Structure 1
Amino acid sequence: MIKRLLLPLVTVFAFSGAAHAQTQDASTPDGLVKAVVGDVMSTVKADKDMQAGNINKITSLVEQKILPNANFQRTTQIAMGRNWSKATPEQQKVIIDEFKTLLIRTYAGAIAQIRDQTVQFRPYRGAPDDTDATIRTQVINKGEPMQLDYRLEKTPQGWKVYDINVLGAWLTEAYKGSFNTIVGQQGIDGVIKTLQDRNRQLANAKS
């Protein structure tokens, strides 16, 4: 379930190339999204090792260019919903860390597939004093359009992505149902075990 939810997210995020990304103002939410995805696209297209699936290089790329621009604590908290308050601070930290690890490992396969995908950004008309923003885009993959929207929040460290809408479904909402089911059956430790087991499976598959 978790892999099924994550793979579309990371695939379309990796595919969302932006032309002229270097000229974007990353201090605005739309500028940040354009800059990050454009940087990822140009880096992978210039690196044959990444296109061949070099896990070490891809992991380094994700950690350097994507993770600093995402708020995984906010994402995890929303996805956990009412169950977040049931977890101890120690459990919350483990869940966030395992979620992040799962994203990185799942991302590796998606990044290796980057070729000629493009993205169309819809006009963003946010106000300068906004603290929450939604950037709407459409990814074109082999001529087929796919809806991909980003939710960002303004933090003291700048704008951070905390949710993504793929084909009309917000990632955090999809996770919420999965996490609710697991907590109801196995408790908070069940969520941790599910994430850890999946990460172990991915690590073994790529070793």
Structure 2
Amino acid sequence: MRSLLEFRSIKYVLITLILLSLATVARAQDFQSDTPEHVIQGLQETFIQTMKKGDELGYRGRLELMTPAINRSHDMDTIIRSILGANWNKLDGKQQQKISETFRKLSIATYAERFNRYDRERFEIIEQRLLPRDQILVRSKLIQADGNSINFDYVLHQSKEGWLIINILVDGVSDLAMKRAEYNAILKRDGFEALIAMLEQKILQTEQN
């Protein structure tokens, strides 16, 4: 009887070890699949899904569908700090929190406004390329029904949450550079509250379009 119990005990331990090993392998595979290219593919799949249901969802529905995907794929805090540059450190804690929250809302609202209708478009990943400072460039294009295409190139860096977008270039034009010029000009000329008011006005405009 004792030997039988010992055998069962050993068998239980072996099964437990095997299950733990399988779980470890599965986690490793999940981690390996979280590449910059995988992040962009997931984001663009959400875009297409949202576009296909655009009219049915309406603006609010598109906003709700896109919010988790944008939060998972974008490092909004790093983006807004990069946009403001030296001006970021001139803001107090409450101002930094306010502009970070407002910028995040505007970014998601802009996506919900622009990716609103489907006309047989599809995304295609072109390549993944290493950049300086351990950043990665994922080049892609949106191919339209008429065969024309728009280039969407994403710059990502690795954070504690994984690979996240810190800049987007549309047909070679840097979104970060455009916002840096616009935001800092308003901040310098009119002050912080004017910049927040401008961002909030843009959010309202996305709702009305």
Q: Which bracket does the TM-score occupy, shorter chain normalised?
A: 0.7 to 0.9
- Mark the CA change 1:118 to 1:79 in structure 2 (over 3 Å): closer, same or farther: same
Q: Distance in 1 between matches of 2:40 and 2:178?
A: 22
| Structure with bigger RCO (C-alpha 8 Å, 6+ apart) | 1
Q: Which moved more, 1:88-97 or 1:189-198?
A: 189-198
Q: Is the 8 A contact 2:186 2:195 kept in 1?
A: yes
1:168 matched to 2:172? The reply is yes
- Mark the CA change 1:139 to 1:99 in structure 2 (over 3 Å): closer, same or farther: same
1:29 matched to 2:32? The reply is no
Alignment of 1:75-114 (within 5 A): 75-114=79-118
Work out the number of aligned pairs and report it: 177
Aligned AA (1:122): I
Aligned AA (1:72): M
Match of 1:194 in 2: 198
- Mark the CA change 1:153 to 1:82 in structure 2 (over 3 Å): closer, same or farther: same
Using the TM superposition, give the Cα deviation of residue 94 of structure 1 relative to its aligned residue in structure 2, in angstroms.
0.9
Gaps of 5+ in 2: 1-31
Q: Among the aligned pairs, what percent are the same residue?
A: 21
Q: Distance in 2 between matches of 1:184 and 1:90?
A: 19
Match of 2:76 in 1: 72
Aligned AA (1:137): S
Using the TM superposition, give the Cα deviation of residue 58 of structure 1 relative to its aligned residue in structure 2, in angstroms.
0.8
Q: Distance in 1 between matches of 2:126 and 2:107?
A: 26
What TM-score do you get using the length of structure 2 for normalisation? 0.75
Provide the alpha-carbon RMSD of the alignment: 2.4
Q: Which has the higher helix share?
A: 2
- Mark the CA change 1:180 to 1:63 in structure 2 (over 3 Å): closer, same or farther: same
Using the TM superposition, give the Cα deviation of residue 200 of structure 1 relative to its aligned residue in structure 2, in angstroms.
3.8
Gaps of 5+ in 1: 1-24
What TM-score do you get using the length of structure 1 for normalisation? 0.75
Match of 2:157 in 1: 153
Q: Distance in 1 between matches of 2:196 and 2:113?
A: 23
Select 1:133's aligned residue among 136, 144, 164.
136
Q: Distance in 2 between matches of 1:27 and 1:53?
A: 29
Alignment of 1:34-73 (within 5 A): 34-42=41-49, 44-45=51-52, 47=53, 50-52=54-56, 54-73=58-77
Q: Distance in 2 between matches of 1:146 and 1:114?
A: 15
- Mark the CA change 1:92 to 1:123 in structure 2 (over 3 Å): closer, same or farther: same
Deviation by residue 1:83-111 (Cα, 9 ceiling, x = unmatched)? 11111121111111111211222222222
Aligned AA (2:44): V
